[in-house]
Amino acid sequence: MTNVKKFYIGGSWVTPSSGAILDVINPATEAAVSAVALGTEADVDKAVTAARAAFASFSQTPVDERVDLLRAIAAGIRRRESELADAIVAEMGSPRGLALALQAPAGRFHFATAAKFLASYPFTEALDTSLVVSEPIGVVAMITPWNWPINQAACKIAPALAVGCAMVLKPSEIAPLSAVVLTEIIHDAGVPPGVFNLVQGDGATVGTALSVHPDVDMVTFTGSTRAGIEVAKNAAPTVKRVTQELGGKSANIILDDANFAHVINRDAFDMCLNTGQSCNAGTRMLVPAARMAEASTIAASAVESISVGDPADVGTTVGPVVSQQQWDRVQELIQSGIDEGATLVTGGVGRPDGLGRGYFVKPTVFADVTNDMRIAREEIFGPVLVIIGYEDDDDAVRIANDSPYGLSGYISGSHDRALALAKRIRTGEIHLNGAGPDFDAPFGGYKQSGNGREWGAHGFAEFLETKSILGAFN
């Protein structure tokens, strides 16, 4: 990968201003697989300047041209999905199957979806004699995480390109490789120089420089709530728009009329996918208190069946967590669950048997958890399921909403009852009866899970300013 130690600014791969690099660690082997250049304020300034210059003309391009660009990027992703998947496996430990089937294609889905909606998006609205116009907000800084690296970048880049913004992407320094491939795809698709720029580096330096830069109009951030708060603080003095997709601790309510064997098996298993490193994972399973033993037995059987191991192995369903730091955090939280009196049903601290190297975690289930325990309140970001008992539907709603987060949620049971409960849950989305992701539907959180929405046509709005032209129809 020749461009991993360069940045993409103004339509070219350029040499960073500093020689600082950071090893990229394969979490399955703990060995360095590459090294990425670390950017500086000077690199950020060059990228923002290039974006500002490009914005003037790109914001005026016809919609049809931008539809074509989005489609060309989607096609480019399809052509290079295998490379993207390999990069994702190496940088963050996603099982190769998941990387090929969803991690890499998710980027394509977002660009294709944006093209679909852009073709008929209403950028103007007539109000009596006034004309209301939606215009691109300007230069957008994008700070993205390591857990779904292509998905998270694409769901920002696609709508920003769609509406005519220019942008600077800073991917996670932990997982920077797939972003290089994506940038090459964007270049090859013919995106005009300066419209899209890539600066690698850490949050403290590059993320901060982007957030405070006076010529950046908007920062869109996905990551931890702690980091998201820092971004918002840094952006406040220049009154930037800030959208945040942050942490989650999503409740998964299993109603008493659900088929327990099917639903709990499915959901305990799904919670472990991507090694539990999904912000919308259903990590708090709420079951009728009287059926705690039954639920925990099913959940334990489900996670015990999961193939944990080398993510490059096609027989692997769950790989390692991303880093030593993340492994340590997961271990500490598992221990806290034991110390606080939750029942450890399966899993626990330490590595799975036979895996002496790599950041592997035992898929873990806790039963008899109360919602005040740390494992019920904090985002663990590992394959750790906590099962909490509830007394009735009102109690389930109360527990589900008793969280600082509000990103996602899940309910299984009879449809009308589940739908009625969904309307009472304070989260940005609810999956009923195992419904999968919908790339057309908005994604984002209530409360400390963030501000703003991504995905689909709703995602366009975040990148638009609104202008009223009064007397336009006089």
Eight-state DSSP code of residue 65: H
**Is residue 100 near other proteins by the rule CB under 8 A?**
yes
Q: Which span sits near other proteins by CB under 8 A: 136-144, 228-236, 397-405, 428-436?
A: 428-436
**Is residue 258 near other proteins by the rule CB under 8 A?**
yes
**Is residue 469 near other proteins by the rule CB under 8 A?**
no
Q: Which span sits near other proteins by CB under 8 A: 206-214, 224-232, 304-312, 463-471?
A: 304-312
Under a CB-based contact definition with an 8 Å cutoff, are residues 124 and 150 in contact? no
Kindly write down the DSSP assignment for every residue of 84-116, as one continuous string. Answer: HHHHHHHHH---HHHIIIIIHHHHHHHHHHHHH
Q: How far is the CB of 327 from other proteins (least distance, A)?
A: 23
Under a CB-based contact definition with an 8 Å cutoff, are residues 185 and 77 in contact? yes
Q: Is 20 exposed, middle or buried (0-12, 13-18, 19+ CB in 10 A)?
A: middle
Cα–Cα distances (Å) from 412 to 255, 257, 433, in that order, read: 6, 8, 4
Under a CB-based contact definition with an 8 Å cutoff, are residues 452 and 113 in contact? no
Q: CA-CA distance, 344 to 173, in Å (whole number)?
A: 34
Which of 238, 335, 370, 433 touches other proteins (CB under 8 A)? 433
Eight-state DSSP code of residue 346: E
Active site (catalytic) residues: 245, 279
Q: How far is the CB of 239 from other proteins (least distance, A)?
A: 39
Judging by DSSP bridges, how do beta strands 405-406 and 139-143 pair with one another? Answer: unpaired
Q: How far is the CB of 261 from other proteins (least distance, A)?
A: 6
Which of 214, 436, 471, 474 touches other proteins (CB under 8 A)? 436
The set of residues, in sequence order, having a beta carbon less than 8 Å from that of 134 and lying 6+ positions away, is: 122, 123, 124, 163, 461, 464, 465, 466, 467
**Is residue 68 near other proteins by the rule CB under 8 A?**
no
Which of 43, 81, 379, 454 touches other proteins (CB under 8 A)? 81
- Of 102 and 210, nearer to other proteins (C-beta) is 102
**Is residue 435 near other proteins by the rule CB under 8 A?**
yes
Q: How far is the CB of 55 from other proteins (least distance, A)?
A: 31
Locus of tokens 């949620």: 409
Which of 77, 342, 418, 425 touches other proteins (CB under 8 A)? 418
- Of 412 and 448, nearer to other proteins (C-beta) is 412
Q: How far is the CB of 99 from other proteins (least distance, A)?
A: 9
Which of 269, 381, 405, 463 touches other proteins (CB under 8 A)? 269
**Is residue 306 near other proteins by the rule CB under 8 A?**
yes
Of 141, 62, 58, 157, residue with least CA distance to 108:
157
Q: CA-CA distance, 305 to 148, in Å (whole number)?
A: 24
Under a CB-based contact definition with an 8 Å cutoff, are residues 396 and 390 in contact? yes
Q: How far is the CB of 92 from other proteins (least distance, A)?
A: 16
Q: Which span sits near other proteins by CB under 8 A: 131-139, 293-301, 343-351, 457-465?
A: 293-301
- The interface with other proteins within residues 228-257 (CB under 8 A) comprises 257
Q: How far is the CB of 350 from other proteins (least distance, A)?
A: 22
Locus of tokens 């109000």: 127
- Of 262 and 467, nearer to other proteins (C-beta) is 262
**Is residue 79 near other proteins by the rule CB under 8 A?**
no
Q: Which span sits near other proteins by CB under 8 A: 55-63, 311-319, 356-364, 402-410?
A: 311-319
Which of 67, 154, 157, 298 touches other proteins (CB under 8 A)? 298
Judging by DSSP bridges, how do beta strands 450-451 and 241-245 pair with one another? Answer: antiparallel
Q: Which residues pair with 466 in a beta bridge?
A: 134
> Which segments within 75-199 are labelled E, that is strand?
124-127, 130-136, 139-143, 166-170, 196-198
SS3 of residue 330 by DSSP: helix
**Is residue 457 near other proteins by the rule CB under 8 A?**
no
Cα–Cα distances (Å) from 372 to 17, 341, 386, 388, 408, in that order, read: 48, 11, 12, 10, 19
- Of 212 and 300, nearer to other proteins (C-beta) is 300
**Is residue 105 near other proteins by the rule CB under 8 A?**
yes
- Of 58 and 269, nearer to other proteins (C-beta) is 269
- The interface with other proteins within residues 109-148 (CB under 8 A) comprises 112, 116
Which of 62, 315, 354, 356 touches other proteins (CB under 8 A)? 315
Q: How far is the CB of 423 from other proteins (least distance, A)?
A: 14
Of 279, 312, 270, residue with least CA distance to 435:
270
Q: Is 79 exposed, middle or buried (0-12, 13-18, 19+ CB in 10 A)?
A: exposed
Q: CA-CA distance, 148 to 363, in Å (whole number)?
A: 20
Q: Which residues bind other proteins (CB under 8 A)?
A: 78, 81-82, 85, 95-98, 100-102, 105, 112, 116, 257-259, 261-263, 265-266, 269, 273, 297-298, 301-302, 304-307, 314-315, 317, 412-415, 418-419, 432-436
